[in-house]
Structure 1
Amino acid sequence: MDQNLAGKRVLVTGGTRGIGRTTVLAFARAGAGVITCHHKESEAAENLTRELKEIGGRHLVVRTDVTDERDVARLADRCREHVGGLDVLVNNVGVDGPVPFEELAADEWRRMFDHNVTATYLVTHAALALLTDGASVVNVGSSVALRGRANGVHYTASKAALIGFTRALCKEVGPRGIRVNTVAPGLTETEPGAGLPAAAVERIVGMTALGRICLPEDVAGAVLFLAGDTSRYISGATLNVDGGV
């Protein structure tokens, strides 16, 4: 069945690297017009802009701090000016930083929640008036929210908060036909050959039913599924993309 993404207007936060970049390019190749944002100027942002231009279509790459309410308001204005409205919102921005709980400082706790939870609130809140009836909101969480992780109490708690955010918001926007779901990847190798240590990859692969580590393409596929027509009666769900850990 066709996901019917051609012509859709999509906003993906944190779209210049890893899962975000792969998701942006997947939407563009499906015929959607994509707006994405990044925090700092970088070669990755420049490369993405060039690649989107080669694919063709109405795309926009802008610099935005999604933890700053005023910056997020400007991002919403750019979306309104560029495409008029949004059919899909993907909240992808997130950070990590393993630290034992006894060493976890309050500033690090706040940093984690600012990026992993508050940013999702700010962007979704600002984009709400732009979302068309029948739109799809997809939050990128983590499967550790359902399992927990040593040296990651702050990260696990922030990703668990996204599940609650999803479950509650879907009930408020459901009357407009807007669906809200979360994709929960396992640990993902976003930089093949230069990311996770070989020993870590081997350990993770040994835990999965499918016998391999998660790739950005695996997550992007789930995001596009939840954004498309084949998931039109799915809302409030958390879709694990962890290979069966």
Structure 2
Amino acid sequence: MKKLENKVAVITGATSGLALEAAKLFVAEGAYVFITGRRQSQLDKAVKEIGHNVTGVQADSGNLEDLDRLFEAVKKEKGNIDILYASAGIGDFNVPIEDVTEDLYTKTFDVNVKGTIFTVQKALPLLKDGGSIIMTGSIAGIKGIAGMGVYCASKAAVRSLARTWTLDLKSRGIRVNVLSPGHTDTAVFDVVSQEVIDQITTTIPLGRFGKPEEMAKAALFLASDDSSYVAGIDMYIDGGAAQY
């Protein structure tokens, strides 16, 4: 039997990268998946890549009206949710404290923190008791990285929310966990020079970048009954990079 047979999953920010790979794997394992993205063209492309058992809803996770529209669509089409994967996130790099602006702060925290909080809140009426909530963190949540203070702080907040919500939702048996990727071979690094990539690689004990499918397998574990006794954790899929 497939691990997510007859399950309904919502994955935000799933038009590319790790979340898109997770959506593909969830469908392959029997789930029906709702995905979101801010740009309709990218959303249409992602839906086509996934191929079946998927609905795309254009939404910005930092916009509460968009979130209402997302969950209204889920309610109308499927009625409930088994798995919520709040994956939407953004970040600016190489921005030292001297250059941080209010706009940068607002943009980052609106999606990464506000968006995560209200994605979970608005999903709760549809989320089945015993369901799984996964949130995307980052190794940046526990590491100091020059020029990334705002992003790092936003991911530290996500990790803190998982601890609290594990207690808030214990009466419903809902498991809340964070999946924190390390450096992963996605389009984010297409604009990074090989010299920088080689330097980053020296900081990873396993000596390589992660693969999107490796992150997707970790998400599948947290979504499925394989992790039925796992709650409140921050799972690092990072080749050991954040562990020393």
Q: TM-score, normalised by structure 1?
A: 0.94
Equivalents in 2 of 1:201, 1:228: separation in Å? Answer: 33
Alpha-carbon contact 2:137-2:158 (below 8 Å) kept = yes
Q: Please tell me the residue identity of whatever aligns with 1:172.
A: D
In the TM superposition, what whole-angstrom CA distance separates every residue of 1:144-202 from its partner, at most 9, and x where no partner exists? 11112110110000000001100000111111110000011112221298353212221
Q: What is the number of equivalent residue pairs in this alignment?
A: 240
Equivalents in 1 of 2:140, 2:190: separation in Å? Answer: 23
Once the two structures are superposed, the pairs formed by residues 13-24 of structure 1 within 5 Å of their partners are 13-24=12-23
Please identify, of 208-217 and 27-36, the stretch whose mean Cα deviation from structure 2 is larger. Answer: 208-217
From 215, 224, 237, give the equivalent of 2:211.
215
Matched, 1:83 2:41: no
From 105, 110, 113, give the equivalent of 2:106.
110
Distance 1:105 1:15, change over 3 A: same
Q: TM-score, normalised by structure 2?
A: 0.94
Query: How far is 1:203 from its partner?
Result: 1.5
Percent identity reads 32
Equivalents in 2 of 1:205, 1:111: separation in Å? Answer: 29
- Partner residue, 1:45: 43
Q: Please tell me the residue identity of whatever aligns with 1:47.
A: K
Once the two structures are superposed, the pairs formed by residues 104-143 of structure 1 within 5 Å of their partners are 104-143=100-139
Q: Please tell me the residue identity of whatever aligns with 1:100.
A: P
Distance 1:3 1:155, change over 3 A: farther
SS in structure 2 opposite 1:60? strand
In the TM superposition, what whole-angstrom CA distance separates every residue of 1:25-76 from its partner, at most 9, and x where no partner exists? 111111110000110122x3222222333xx33x201101211111111111
Alpha-carbon contact 1:8-1:32 (below 8 Å) kept = yes
Distance 1:174 1:196, change over 3 A: farther
Equivalents in 2 of 1:186, 1:3: separation in Å? Answer: 28
Q: Please tell me the residue identity of whatever aligns with 2:81.
A: L
Equivalents in 1 of 2:86, 2:63: separation in Å? Answer: 15
Equivalents in 1 of 2:239, 2:189: separation in Å? Answer: 20
Please identify, of 235-244 and 216-225, the stretch whose mean Cα deviation from structure 2 is larger. Answer: 216-225
Alpha-carbon contact 1:3-1:230 (below 8 Å) kept = no
**Which blocks of at least 5 consecutive residues in structure 1 are unaligned?**
none
Q: Please tell me the residue identity of whatever aligns with 1:212.
A: R
Matched, 1:71 2:66: yes
Matched, 1:62 2:57: yes
- Partner residue, 2:4: 5
Equivalents in 2 of 1:5, 1:200: separation in Å? Answer: 39
- Partner residue, 2:160: 164
Equivalents in 2 of 1:193, 1:124: separation in Å? Answer: 29
**Which blocks of at least 5 consecutive residues in structure 2 are unaligned?**
none
In the TM superposition, what whole-angstrom CA distance separates every residue of 1:61-101 from its partner, at most 9, and x where no partner exists? 11012111111111110010111100000011111102011
Q: Please tell me the residue identity of whatever aligns with 1:48.
A: A
